[in-house]
Structure 1
Amino acid sequence: MKKQKVRMYQGLKEEETKELLKKYGENKIERKKKISPFKIFLSQFKSPLILLLIFASLVSFAINFYQQEEYLDTILILIIVLISAILGFVQEYKAERTIESLQKLASPKAKVIRDGKEQEIEATMVVPGDLIVVESGDVIPADAEILEGKLQIDESILTGESRAVEKSRGEKIFSGTHIFSGKAIAKVFATGMKTEIGKIAEKLQEMEEEKTPFEEKMEAFTKKVILYTIIVIVLTFLASFNKFGLLKASLLAVALAVAAIPEGLPAVTTIALALGTREMAKRNALVRRLKIIESVGSLDVICTDKTGTLTEGKMKVKDFWFVEENEKSKEISLKVCYYCNNSKQIVKNGNLTWVGDETEIALKEFAKEFVKEEGKRLEEISFSSERMMMSVVHDFGNEILVLTKGAPEVIVEKCDRILLKDGVKKMSKEIKKKILEKNSEFASQGIRVLALAYKPAENNFKREEIEKNLIFVSLVLLLDLPRKDVKEAIEECYSAGIRVIMITGDNPKTAKAIADMVGLKSNGVVSSEELDKMSNEELEKVLDEGINIFARASPFHKLRILEILKKKGLKVGMTGDGVNDALAIKKADVGIAMGIKGSEVTKEASDIILLDDNFASIRNAVKEGRKI
């Protein structure tokens, strides 16, 4: 987008923004239930057993005061209660501080047009009506509508889908989503808690906190202790009343009851839980609530994402496939990967980082080892979901080339020639068939395939002729490889009697291929289209039949699968990273958020944060949970 376009827009006046900021508040997610250190400390005393011990200490104090004895028992009980509370407080406070520090890292700037000038401000200061300027590498600061320009956006934080989404004039863009490529001017219509992310955060904060099995067991145990204490008091009083009289019989009965209370239990359990959380943290699982540890150890099912959890979360070029391999084909293939590409490296927080579409980053990262930057781009025909291809015209000084990449079935139809060992030859029907067969073969193995093509061009080229009569070069094969220790982790889950279900936004073939690589067993794959047609009873039947792979699934599907599993009485752990995953994570017996690629809202909803986004860390957490 040219500077002149930006100058056409005036935007809000500074005086207006001050009034709007007062009216709508700052552009940020409010933590309505943010817990102060004091409240975290007080919450440690909510346990019925702790309250019983406090009652016991008061009774002990009264008895010692009456009998004019030392207050050793009272002091001992209070010390135990205090140790238990302090240990619990330290763990939960550290987790809260970790969340806050992660939030501080996500404090981006925003470019706005105000009084006719483009300026950079804190994203929290953006107001409804503001004109924002967004481009490749930016995180969108608020919900807005595009007025000018085109964007390719990663909306996976909201939708769970990792594919780039095209947006142009009149379409809405959402806060927290990332821009792969393009530039646009957009008018803000919602900020803070009124954005899509904000609405989800609000729903999340309204959800009731469910008691963990550990809390339920402790409550049941405390009720029994109270019942037995009452029985001891009554029986002792009745047995000693005639002999000692009302006062002494009462004191004796209460003293025996207090002695029967297991005052050391809270300290022992809290220490055991705190040690468990420390061990989990060493293994990249940050526990946000002490009492969840026992739940981790008693999980029946783990519902996991694929990308970044079972896999490395990063596309890599595996290889090229040529009809006839030769040096010229390799050279052209690398040039297409490098120059027909809009990804780039920028400095962010003092580090060099890639921005752009994950596939383009993989291509450029691979090609830059072999290709040196030269020449200039003369023209670009952008990728779109309708065209399924992208082309550039690049001037290398000694030659001008059209470089094209895209879906094999589309590119093959655009090629009338092919580069072979003996040079450029006419494309035959047999070769086309062979290329498409190879494409299907690779796709069935979970490999992402792109076709690469080129042709020489003249200085006076016509835009409408760029993608005609191309020369086919190769197929480039990309794969998001499984993490090294995931296969072993899944085997250990099976040995421990834990079922593993993959719920992914990726396509069924890729999901099945990755499942096979990591040893995830399933009696088939269910797609989102099939899932949408199923009633809850049919979905329950599918789960009973041992189907453990759900492809093209949305966060809504996650929630639905979770509810059916819980209805069957199973203890379920759920992983997630996008904002829409937060509701399922909150509802799960153990909600597991991704520490690296997870959204702040999801981390807030979770019980455990995986600091390395690795499935193996869940296995490690389960091991520690079973030791408690």
Structure 2
Amino acid sequence: MNEKEIEGGLTQVEAERRLKKYGLNTIEKKKGVSPVKIFFSQFNDFITWILIVATVISGFMGEKADAITILIIVVMNAILGFVQEFKTERSLETLKELASPTSKVLRDGKIKVINAQELVMGDIVFLESGDKIPADCILLSRGNFMVDESLLTGESEGVSKSSSGKNNSIYMGTVVIKGKGKARVVQTGMETEMGKIAGMLQDIEKDRSPLKEKLTSLGKVLVVVCIVICIIVTLAGVWRGQDKYEMFLVGVSLAVAAIPEGLAAIVTVALALGVSRMLKRNALVRKLPAVETLGCTSIICSDKTGTLTENKMTVKALYFNGKMHKSDTGKLPDNTMMKKAFTYCNDCNFDIKKVDISEALMGDPTETALIKAFFKDARALKKFMDKAERVYDIPFDSDRKMMSVIMKEGSKKVCYVKGAPERVINKCKYILDRGQVRLLTAGEKNRVLKAVENMTSSALRCIAAAYKDSKVAAGRTLETNLIFIGIAGIIDPPRKEAKDAVLKCKLAGIRPVMITGDHKNTAFAIGKELDICSSQSQVITGEELDKLNDRQLSDKIQKISIFARVNPGHKLRIVKAFKARNNIVAMTGDGVNDAPAVKEADIGICMGISGTDVTKEASSMILLDDNFATIVSAVEEGRVIYDNIRKFIRYLLSCNLGEVLTMLLSSIFYLDTPLLPIQILMVNLATDGLPAVALGVDPPEGDIMKGKPRAKNESIFARGLSEKIIVRGALIGVCTVFSFVMGLYLGFGLKTARTMALCTLIISQLIHVFECRSEKHSIFQINLFTNLYLLAAVATSIIMLLCTIYVPFLQMVFHTSPLVVSQWFIVLFFSGIIALLNSLYLYFKSNN
């Protein structure tokens, strides 16, 4: 690789040529389930096979029309199931691609973030602590660089790497645990060491949803109950002297229609659709069970910078020579030593081709803000940087809260340090005052800390600068006996949408908690502006946290809204303390040290922009925009999904119960069979498929974020749902039987009475689907046009019903007869009377 490619990276054209030649940077993996296999799995059901065998026998016995129609209905049901499952598989595959690692790469002289799959040999990549190395590389930059190679070697000790010597190779799948560096890709995909042993982990896990597990178990119980009832119906018919074969077919058809075999599948569909909606709101869910837990969230622990604030840093004040210098315009006095400290002790990259410094700089917002305070032109910055050479560095560490570099300026070496003021000042023995170095007295130190107090009270984030220029050597004594230079005060305004999101949390019974490494006063000023807290008593620092044992912290934590000056280790204690008080905790993080807390939380959330690969893997959800409002939107979506699951469970089970009771009651009261096998299957096709799925995309009710979070262990049938299912299912069955009996009583004939029963059963279920859209409001209070999918599904079902009773060919197939107006009046009365009365009850209840 030539020097030009190292300096400016590959051109995009050359990268595309190499990608085409060598292929994607991926490890070969097992193929997913094929569409053909998904389709045929829809028939993998004992009852369905019995029905198929029975209808084939029926065909040989002369009932060919019935047999063919039943088989067509079975196939149509399988197609509906296939579409649902295939869409779910595709949704999960799409999520897997979205969650794949990204890499910071140099292309055409610019740093770009690309999918790691698109890396090619020769690419220059930038790595930092917490990043998973995307390909086999050669380290180019010098510095304190350490890698965890346990995935390859099994050794837990970190391995130091250097750009000089033999120990400069770093491998795909291993993790940077210390330092920042630049590396050149030498192997990709299956040619890497990881590829040779085929050991790459997948990012998206196919977790089984706990709710799906519960509903699968419930489904098994319902199967047994339905089969028992179907056997009773069959035996009762035979005992009354009806045709044995016909009653056998009735029993099997009823079992096919009544057993909610799609219950667990529809849960997965609802979760997958919800995940897709979350993605549109910039929340990428990595694990499906997280969707269920989101609706239970009672505490959201959020980082401040970039999540609650805009992460658009601007230096507004400088403190040096014992004086404060403030500016609202960005014009601040020049200070050579401060300029050197904040420019050299900085990991920003910049594009020399761009003149404007704001456009040229790339890197951490805090670091870019420090450079913009002293430079307006990228060429001036380049000229300044060329005056010195970085020899050694100790990267910023969230525990140390400092960064140090050794720069070679001509013949001498100088150590520059930047970091949290209280940490830096404690490392200083001297102070630079108007160009003169003198001892740092206790009084001077107190004046510095007082200046910090004043700046942080104005919501300024403070960064201190120091240096030393005699006998500098890399070692334990590097950051000792420093010379204090001054402090930069940086403003990071709160996000405009954050205050509304905080209010939304409080109305929803969720406590927003701020966690930051910033000064206590800065955190309080921002927290008060966002209405997270109202007094200093609700703020605690990491130092104060260390003085509390776990029990004391657990007792106190419910009153704390802001944690300031904390390190990642504190985050884990915070999560555990909140969980000890039976809270469901969402915790954000980005750095490698945040991973334990993110993993411990009920909902681990990683920052998509600033988050490291290690933290992303530990998380349940990734924020693509690093925005607190997105977390609240995800919680809202979690509640919506759970409510929608309750809606279609209510709908499916009450309707299936109505079908079973229709046949059972007719047997108990010695009535003729109100529905033939093919009519039972028609009910199943018209009502169980599309309407139930359409409920899965029902929009939220307006007050969904105005109630308390549900308990994590709450039954899906809690809050009266089981009673609603049983009562409404029983009424559907009773009304269908009454419609059938009325048809017989008025002398319409058995065929017409059965048609009336068929219409009553289907229409009552289609009316009930609208009732299921809300547990608190009546049909009169719901805007029917907010779910067009449901309207389309119901319209399709009604058209299917009308075709079966008015199209001559289908009349023969389904054994129906056309209904006249008086008969439709009876059908509509029995289909709608219960829904009407229930809606009137809910309407008056909500208005009184």
What TM-score, normalized to structure 1? 0.63
Displacement after TM superposition at 1:572 (Å) = 4.6
- Counterparts of 2:577 and 2:206 in 1: how far apart (Å)? 19
Cα offsets for 1:504-557 (capped at 9, x unmatched): 67777766665445443595547499579845x6665455666774832339x6
Which structure carries more strand by proportion? 1
Displacement after TM superposition at 1:369 (Å) = 1.9
What residue number does 1:368 align with? 375
What residue number does 1:309 align with? 307
- SS in structure 1 of the partner of residue 34 of structure 2: helix
Q: Which of 437, 446, 459 lines up with 2:450 in the alignment?
A: 437
- 1:151 and 2:150 equivalent? no
Equivalent positions of 1:107-186 (< 5 A) are: 150-151=143-144, 175-177=174-176
- Counterparts of 1:540 and 1:194 in 2: how far apart (Å)? 49
CA distance 1:569–1:436, shift in 2 (3 Å): closer
What residue number does 1:36 align with? 32
Displacement after TM superposition at 1:236 (Å) = 0.7
Give the structure with higher Rg (CA).
Answer: 2
Equivalent positions of 1:423-572 (< 5 A) are: 433-442=446-455, 447-451=460-464, 474-502=486-514, 515-521=527-533, 523-525=538-540, 527=542, 530=545, 534=549, 540-541=554-555, 543=557, 549=563, 551-554=566-569, 558=572, 571-572=584-585
What residue number does 1:409 align with? 425
Cα offsets for 1:47-67 (capped at 9, x unmatched): 9x9958856864785586464
- 1:622 and 2:632 equivalent? no
- SS in structure 1 of the partner of residue 225 of structure 2: helix
| 8 Å Cα contact 1:60-1:73 kept in structure 2 | no
Q: Which of 587, 591, 609 lines up with 1:596 in the alignment?
A: 609
What residue number does 1:330 align with? 333
CA distance 1:418–1:435, shift in 2 (3 Å): farther
What residue number does 1:345 align with? 349
Q: Which of 45, 65, 69 lines up with 1:69 in the alignment?
A: 65
1:151 is aligned with what amino acid? N
What residue number does 1:118 align with? none
CA distance 1:315–1:274, shift in 2 (3 Å): same
What residue number does 2:229 align with? 232
Q: Which of 297, 300, 303 lines up with 1:299 in the alignment?
A: 297
- Counterparts of 1:529 and 1:179 in 2: how far apart (Å)? 28
- Counterparts of 2:454 and 2:595 in 1: how far apart (Å)? 37
Where structure 2 has 5 or more consecutive residues not aligned to the other structure, the ranges are 4-24, 107-117, 152-159, 185-191, 473-478, 645-848
1:435 is aligned with what amino acid? V
| 8 Å Cα contact 2:208-2:288 kept in structure 1 | no
CA distance 1:438–1:606, shift in 2 (3 Å): closer
CA distance 1:257–1:337, shift in 2 (3 Å): same
- 1:100 and 2:116 equivalent? no
Equivalent positions of 1:251-262 (< 5 A) are: 251-261=249-259
- Counterparts of 1:530 and 1:240 in 2: how far apart (Å)? 74
What residue number does 1:377 align with? 387
- Counterparts of 2:540 and 2:524 in 1: how far apart (Å)? 7
1:309 is aligned with what amino acid? T
CA distance 1:381–1:290, shift in 2 (3 Å): closer
- Counterparts of 1:212 and 1:176 in 2: how far apart (Å)? 32
CA distance 1:81–1:274, shift in 2 (3 Å): farther
- Counterparts of 1:433 and 1:570 in 2: how far apart (Å)? 41
Cα offsets for 1:235-267 (capped at 9, x unmatched): 212312221364443223223333334578678
| 8 Å Cα contact 2:498-2:628 kept in structure 1 | yes
- Counterparts of 1:588 and 1:412 in 2: how far apart (Å)? 39
2:280 is aligned with what amino acid? K
Cα offsets for 1:62-91 (capped at 9, x unmatched): 586464334445434543443344344335
- Counterparts of 2:466 and 2:104 in 1: how far apart (Å)? 42
RMSD: 6.3
Higher-RCO chain (CA-CA 8 Å, sequence separation at least 6): 1
CA distance 1:255–1:305, shift in 2 (3 Å): same
What residue number does 1:610 align with? 623
| 8 Å Cα contact 1:486-1:615 kept in structure 2 | yes
Equivalent positions of 1:51-62 (< 5 A) are: 58=52, 61=55
- SS in structure 1 of the partner of residue 387 of structure 2: strand
- SS in structure 1 of the partner of residue 490 of structure 2: strand
Where structure 1 has 5 or more consecutive residues not aligned to the other structure, the ranges are 4-27, 110-121, 127-132, 159-165, 456-460
| 8 Å Cα contact 2:538-2:560 kept in structure 1 | yes
Displacement after TM superposition at 1:134 (Å) = 10
- Counterparts of 2:601 and 2:79 in 1: how far apart (Å)? 31
- Counterparts of 2:206 and 2:547 in 1: how far apart (Å)? 28
- Counterparts of 1:578 and 1:326 in 2: how far apart (Å)? 33
- SS in structure 2 of the partner of residue 554 of structure 1: helix
- Counterparts of 2:297 and 2:588 in 1: how far apart (Å)? 13
Displacement after TM superposition at 1:330 (Å) = 0.3
2:607 is aligned with what amino acid? M
- Counterparts of 1:600 and 1:425 in 2: how far apart (Å)? 44
- Counterparts of 1:237 and 1:305 in 2: how far apart (Å)? 63
Paired residue total: 551
1:86 is aligned with what amino acid? V
- Counterparts of 1:520 and 1:530 in 2: how far apart (Å)? 19
What residue number does 2:278 align with? 280
2:624 is aligned with what amino acid? L
